[in-house]
Structure 1
């Protein structure tokens, strides 16, 4: 007990220490940002590219959905596979492999002669996207000093928004052929690979593999000269020992009854981030608008506005989330997203979807993006890092990522077919109802974890006290 208290005390001291970022840690954050940008770019570029691809290949809705969704199937596979690989090969080794896959997938898609090979190429890209969401934030968290960990991990999420904005701007230019726009992602992938080759392995992974001397060398390289390396090594060793000796650990640990509330919360939030309609808007807004009489240039300009709205909302949300609270912010923002979809659906159902209603349609799309990206979307990756017990965290976050990407895949494969069957307006209403369901889920199942330590969260989970009321502050 005394050693545990001294470890916690030294951790708190390091948290408050002034310290400074070393060049190696800055490069680690840059690698994470590049991988996040590739995620946003590779998933977002298809929005504008589909208009050109449809003309080049002469495809219908079914193929459009397959091309857009293939990257998501790859992401499910990548998230699950890289959870295993990052434990076996190391965080850096896995990211090096993913950088190569990013580059190969981008070039493959750019050279694809038909929709079949294009879909396979995007499947390969998806493996890298899913693997990056699983591995990059963990790599940064395990190398960053405790004082800067949160801000550096957030580089990944912000970079996703940057990638989406770049993708929408490239698509809106209309002067860049789709093969060039998709293939251009190979350049940042190559940069990511070059940066990774200069970086060390995660010291926490090295400790888990009983390579303490190598872990010490890494910490001495990535920490300031006056930093308490011994204290951090002791903390890593203690956590590694707890993981190895825990009764509930790994994939089998997810079946434990006391872990189930965390799994339901994590996967439920992940599923609702997709059912809320965000991917429908990002992937298909140009296609939906052009199919309803809008010019391609207007549709692509709307995509840029949506991408910028996404990024701005994420930045604002991240700035206020710790002040407002995770649960409260989500409950405030979801109704705005739902109302915007209901109004948008009414515009199409009532026949007010012509040019005279263009400002109202665009306003609804932008308002939806602001409320959705600044609220529920922030929770998709955050809950996984906070909710699961330490010994099952890699498996839990892998399942949560797979749930998120799997739902995304289902939506992307069916959306255009759904719209063809029931129309744009009723489809918007359906997704508005999903937002209502998301609000109910958050209200009854999501405790406010703001300001709670990971140890406190795990303790309450183990005691069966994981409801919103159990975390309510007096």
Structure 2
């Protein structure tokens, strides 16, 4: 997630607006972040199509399907929390090097797993890398990127997740590819990521925090153009490091402070609702749900590809308009469309209109849901963490938010097929439609519009106890 600094001086602000500050080294840093995002999307999304083959190979029932799909999410919770500590102790680059190795090991482990137990353990290992990447990669690129380009380069990570999901659905739809090959193939981009990382520098901000000012200066001189005022940025970074060290409210204990609590409630609440809204249910299990209800496997996998492409296009569209429409307004507009599509989808199943004749309507509901959900609420899951938390508690806050997101994802993945078996597809869709209604209510009452607000202004509102939507009305 993006990490921004305190109010810059006029000179520094002039630098931010100047052109030509994007060097080749920074582009490679952004590429590493993008590869980690692709791996996130691919490793979590590939199970959608692979699960059909795994079921046939291992002869497993719903319980094992859920365990295999969910094990990567348990690992992600562990990874998100652990790498918050590791990135402070080992450095951003050092942590990412470790995660790249884990990505390679996890992919190969899963590819050669002889039974569902070892496959689940391999996906647990992969999950550690996935969760750690969501915590560390955006922070690394944010701390190395020039201020002018920081937001756009950090968002490469989010777009890359959608690219990974699309690739996973296309590979899954190619039924001639073994699930072992499709899962193991993730080791290749992970190895490329490792090779690139070994040639990159450590984050200058982390180096300053460790007291290595000279090394930080050397890094900045390598990743900034020759006419850039490195000393100014180094001075700002040193000032921020002093603020963090002397802040009374900092780290994990700081999240318990009463004035910080509204930010934590908003961040974790949005993270939870991004998952309860049904996005992972659709990504992971749509082929399984469709084939269990009479769809041909090839059709179900083609639908999965269409959903992946819709996810990516909706994210791109949402990111293109979010600053003009506003975060809060866009979310409130899009959630009802997602809720309505799930309600109609549930109605089709409850009324028995879920056969081949209703196939176009079922597919339309799934795509409409993906369009409204990915283009609205899903964008908020990562943005709130980069904008909401005070500087001194931001690493702990984003780690807590990531853990809340992955834990909710884990719960849904472990229970969905059992829920469908117990109450049916239709009522299950209605339950998730109700979660979308609850998400709308939460956003309406708890989410202020932070569009165009500086991080210092947001922190000031928190400190003054004015963090309700009405407090941010223009």
Question: Shorter-chain TM-score category?
Answer: over 0.9
Cα distance between partner residues in 2 of 1:372 and 1:9: 40
Partner of 1:454: 455
Equivalent residues of 1:316, 1:374 under 8 A apart: yes
Does 2:146 correspond to 1:111? Answer: no
Shift of 1:69: 0.1
Does 2:28 correspond to 1:27? Answer: yes
Cα distance between partner residues in 2 of 1:73 and 1:286: 22
Distance 1:404 1:5, change over 3 A: closer
Cα distance between partner residues in 1 of 2:260 and 2:125: 33
CA offsets 1:57-99 (integer angstroms, 9 cap, x no match): 0000000000000000000000000000000000000000000
Does 2:204 correspond to 1:203? Answer: yes
Cα distance between partner residues in 1 of 2:415 and 2:57: 23
Cα distance between partner residues in 1 of 2:188 and 2:332: 40
CA offsets 1:36-56 (integer angstroms, 9 cap, x no match): 000000000000000000000
Q: Structure 2 length as normaliser, TM-score? A: 0.98
Shift of 1:20: 3.0
Shift of 1:11: 2.8
Distance 1:134 1:367, change over 3 A: same
Cα distance between partner residues in 2 of 1:414 and 1:286: 17
Partner of 1:237: 238
Equivalent residues of 1:80, 1:399 under 8 A apart: yes
Distance 1:374 1:111, change over 3 A: same
Equivalent residues of 2:6, 2:240 under 8 A apart: no
Does 2:84 correspond to 1:83? Answer: yes
Equivalent residues of 2:113, 2:119 under 8 A apart: yes
Please list, as runs of the form range in 1=range in 2, the aligned pairs for 1:103-252 lying within 5 A after superposition.
Answer: 103-252=104-253
CA offsets 1:145-164 (integer angstroms, 9 cap, x no match): 00100100000000000000
Equivalent residues of 2:6, 2:455 under 8 A apart: no
Partner of 1:335: 336
Cα distance between partner residues in 1 of 2:206 and 2:137: 14
Cα distance between partner residues in 2 of 1:261 and 1:7: 26
Does 2:349 correspond to 1:360? Answer: no
Partner of 2:54: 53
Does 2:45 correspond to 1:44? Answer: yes
Partner of 1:93: 94
CA offsets 1:380-413 (integer angstroms, 9 cap, x no match): 0110010000000000000000000000000000
Equivalent residues of 1:75, 1:128 under 8 A apart: yes
SS in 2 for 1:21: coil
Cα distance between partner residues in 1 of 2:204 and 2:322: 30
Shift of 1:8: 2.6
CA offsets 1:315-361 (integer angstroms, 9 cap, x no match): 00001000100000000000000000000000000000000100000
CA offsets 1:395-439 (integer angstroms, 9 cap, x no match): 000000000000000000000000000000000000000000000
Give the aligned CA root-mean-square deviation in angstroms.
1.0
Cα distance between partner residues in 1 of 2:174 and 2:403: 34
Cα distance between partner residues in 2 of 1:352 and 1:409: 31
Cα distance between partner residues in 2 of 1:371 and 1:353: 22
Cα distance between partner residues in 2 of 1:13 and 1:212: 24
Distance 1:343 1:117, change over 3 A: same
Equivalent residues of 2:26, 2:144 under 8 A apart: yes
Partner of 1:297: 298
Please list, as runs of the form range in 1=range in 2, the aligned pairs for 1:407-422 lying within 5 A after superposition.
Answer: 407-422=408-423
Segments of structure 2 that go 5 or more residues without pairing to the other structure are: none
SS in 1 for 2:9: helix
Q: Structure 1 length as normaliser, TM-score? A: 0.98
Equivalent residues of 1:76, 1:127 under 8 A apart: yes
Cα distance between partner residues in 2 of 1:127 and 1:8: 40
Equivalent residues of 1:91, 1:135 under 8 A apart: yes
Equivalent residues of 2:48, 2:285 under 8 A apart: yes
CA offsets 1:355-387 (integer angstroms, 9 cap, x no match): 010000000000000000000000001100100
Partner of 2:259: 258
Count of residue pairs brought into register by the alignment? 470
Cα distance between partner residues in 2 of 1:36 and 1:252: 30
